[in-house]
């Protein structure tokens, strides 16, 4: 876990979370699936003027209304309470009543007219029962689970539920909280929002994006039968291109926002810059080299670990770019104690010698550390450090008030001389090219080896368990990970990556078995048919690595 002394921003207690529920009422329209939405009051305290699904806070009385509701055998008490709240809110706001008579007939307009839409708290379910109606909570399913972003002043823990719109009922807005009920196809709602005339907020956008791939109400409800939400998300926010940007847990910037602004402070800028360092923690800076491309993404990330008192370790100085190396040296105040290369590829190690020479010009010559390239390496990846690092060795930066310890983990696979580094005090993994954000690393034989790569992933997974590593800092892309025990932590990233590799390998094996006389070109077209053809020459290298591993396993 990151030391509180190294966090960039003072602790900020997020607003208290309130329990709520919302329901997507669906119907099959003439052009496909439609969802009922209404416009919130312009004076509402949360999302004023936004088009939303009906819903609101969960009352204590909703939990007491279970005897007045029908539930599924697999429906938990919590989900039942949430369904009752959603039924009540859709009735109060839109006059839609998900309730049935004893003969199974759904409530009709006469029933709705006989009930008080604004009855006192706790009176909704009893008045339905008086009219012989049982709440149809068994027909309300969990679709998604949202927790309002940490930076917002009002926060809710809210399931997005889903139900079929009852026949012979017409939505009528209460004209207090909700206005202008409208049936709309998810894709049309998103298009109108993009045009600027149908304002919807982030959770609504993401839910509609997922919903637009469904053609019918039945297909949606079938996918909700497991009682598990499609996803659970508490998004994080930062700045990109001068605008507010929000991200879910599976998206590339999420881990970086969790590291830099753990309490939800919306202060981190996600734009890729090469002319200045980006502070990730007080003791970790990232400087991205100006070498973007297909293989390097936004560029090679060089990291400085340390502080002015302890001095700095420079990890992956990158290409021999004079301006980039000068920025590295200046960001460290000239106080670089170690230069460490995770491996010898030309976007990582060539800058080591000129950075060392720059330091030497100012009276200090830090050692270049790493592992020497093997004979299997390509000519442009030749590298000889001043000293080779041992597996498990620690590089210590010691000051009066802080210590920063980098432990070496040998991780062959992407390259025979690849290593990773663990910042022990803060639970960070500097992964080089072994784990990337937004892409899978290329394994290029003979220096790359798929069997070694997968074994090294297991080694990193063990390190995550041992050191409770929360975040992975890759050589390309944003920080990966999340706080420990949340949906996407460092362990989940590595486990997902290994599963992806093995799934690809299984696909390759199937293609090889079906086309044993096929060429490598034939196999790459079929095994990587989900990858753009322009990337097949790169994929060919990893294909070869998988083929070698498959054959070695018999």
Superfamily of domain 17-234: Nucleoside Triphosphate Pyrophosphohydrolase (3.90.79.10)
Nearest 5°: phi and psi at 419? -140, 160
Place of tokens 């990587």: 528
Give the pair of three-digit tokens for residue 438: 């937004």
pLDDT of residue 44: 79
Query: Nearest CA to 208 among 191, 221, 228?
Result: 191
Cis, peptide link before residue 141, omega less than 30° from 0: no
CB 41 within 8 A of CB 180: no
CB 106 within 8 A of CB 168: yes
Three-class SS state of 547: helix
Three-class SS state of 208: helix
pLDDT of residue 47: 79
pLDDT of residue 487: 59
The predicted-structure confidence for 219-260, as pLDDT tens digits, reads as follows 999 999 999 999 999 999 999 999 999 999 989 999 999 999
CA atoms lying within 13 Å on the CB side of residue 527: 32
Give the pair of three-digit tokens for residue 170: 């017409």
Would you list the DSSP string of 3-46? Answer: -GGG-SS---PPPPEEEEEEEEEEEEETTEEEEEEEEEPTT-SS
H-assigned helices in 472-535: 490-514, 520-527
Give the pair of three-digit tokens for residue 339: 């230069």
CB 310 within 8 A of CB 402: yes
Distances (CA, A) of 201 to 50, 155, 210, 232, 474: 7, 14, 15, 17, 32
- CATH label, 272-486, candidates 3.40.50.300, 3.60.15.10, 2.60.40.10, 3.30.450.40: 3.60.15.10
Query: Nearest CA to 310 among 327, 334, 335?
Result: 335
Instruction: Give the residues of the chain that fall short of pLDDT 70.
Output: 483-488
What is the pTM assigned to this prediction? Answer: 0.92
- The full length of the chain comes to 554
Distances (CA, A) of 221 to 24, 67, 215: 11, 24, 11
Beta bridge partners of 285: 279, 304
CB 420 within 8 A of CB 453: no
pLDDT of residue 554: 82
Residue spans of the domains in the chain: they are 17-234, 272-486
pLDDT of residue 178: 84
Q: How far apart are CA 17 and CA 309, in angstroms?
A: 41
Adjacency order of strands within the sheet including 419-423: 394-398, 403-410, 419-423, 428-432, 471-474, 480-481
Strands 236-240, 55-57: pairing is unpaired
CB 87 within 8 A of CB 23: yes
pLDDT of residue 488: 64
Which residues contact residue 91 at a Cβ distance below 8 angstroms, ignoring those fewer than 6 apart?
97, 112, 115, 117, 124
pLDDT of residue 162: 97
């Amino acid at each position: 876990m990151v030391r509180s002394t190294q966090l960039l921003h003072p602790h900020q207690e997020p607003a208290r979370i309130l329990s709520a529920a919302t329901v997507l009422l669906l119907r099959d329209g003439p052009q496909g699936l439609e969802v009922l939405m209404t416009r919130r009051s312009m004076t509402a305290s949360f999302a004023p003027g936004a088009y939303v699904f009906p819903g609101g806070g969960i009352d204590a009385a909703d939990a007491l209304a279970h005897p007045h509701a029908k539930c599924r055998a697999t429906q938990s008490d919590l989900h039942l309470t949430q369904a009752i709240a959603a039924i009540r809110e859709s009735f109060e706001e839109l006059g839609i009543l998900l309730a049935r008579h004893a003969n199974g007939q759904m409530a009709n307009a006469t029933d709705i007219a006989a009930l008080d839409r604004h009855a006192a708290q706790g009176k909704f379910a009893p008045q339905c029962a008086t009219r012989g109606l049982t709440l149809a909570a068994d027909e309300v399913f969990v679709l998604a689970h949202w927790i309002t972003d940490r930076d917002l002043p009002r926060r809710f823990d809210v399931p997005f539920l889903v139900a079929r719109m009852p026949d012979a009922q017409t939505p009528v807005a209460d004209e207090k909280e909700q206005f202008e009920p409208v049936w709309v196809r998810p894709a049309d709602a998103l298009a109108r929002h993009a045009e600027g005339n149908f304002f919807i907020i982030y959770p609504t956008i993401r839910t509609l994006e997922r919903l637009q791939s469904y053609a019918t109400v039945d297909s949606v409800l079938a996918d909700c039968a497991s009682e598990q939400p499609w996803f659970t998300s508490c998004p994080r926010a930062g700045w990109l291109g001068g605008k507010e940007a929000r991200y879910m847990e599976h998206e590339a910037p999420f881990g970086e926002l969790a590291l830099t602004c753990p309490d939800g402070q919306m202060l981190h800028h996600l734009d890729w810059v090469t002319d200045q360092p980006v502070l990730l923690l007080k003791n970790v800076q990232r400087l991205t080299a100006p070498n973007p491309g297909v293989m390097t993404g936004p560029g090679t990330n060089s990291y400085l670990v340390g502080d002015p008192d302890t001095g700095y370790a420079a990890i992956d100085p990158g290409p021999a770019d004079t301006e980039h190396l000068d920025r590295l040296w200046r960001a460290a105040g000239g106080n670089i104690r170690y230069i460490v290369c995770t491996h010898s590829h030309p976007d990582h190690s060539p800058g080591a010698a000129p950075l060392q020479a720059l330091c030497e010009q100012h009276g200090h010559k830090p050692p270049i550390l790493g592992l020497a390239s093997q004979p299997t390496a390509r000519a442009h990846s030749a590298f000889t450090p001043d000293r080779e690092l041992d597996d498990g060795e620690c590089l210590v930066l010691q000051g009066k008030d802080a210590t920063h310890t980098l432990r070496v983990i040998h991780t062959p696979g992407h390259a025979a001389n690849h290593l990773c580094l663990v910042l022990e005090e803060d639970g960070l993994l500097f992964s080089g090219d072994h784990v990337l954000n937004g892409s899978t690393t290329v394994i290029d034989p003979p220096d790359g080896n798929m069997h070694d790569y997968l074994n090294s992933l297991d080694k990193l997974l063990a390190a995550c368990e041992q050191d409770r590593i929360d975040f992975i800092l890759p050589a390309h892309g944003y920080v990966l990970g999340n706080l420990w025990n949340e949906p996407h932590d460092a362990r989940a990233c590595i486990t997902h990556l290994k599963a992806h590799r093995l799934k690809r390998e299984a696909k390759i094996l199937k293609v090889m078995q079906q086309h044993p006389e096929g060429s490598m070109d034939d196999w790459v077209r079929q095994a990587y048919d989900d990858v753009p053809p322009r990337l097949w020459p790169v994929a060919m290298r990893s294909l070869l690595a998988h083929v070698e591993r498959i054959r070695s396993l018999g």
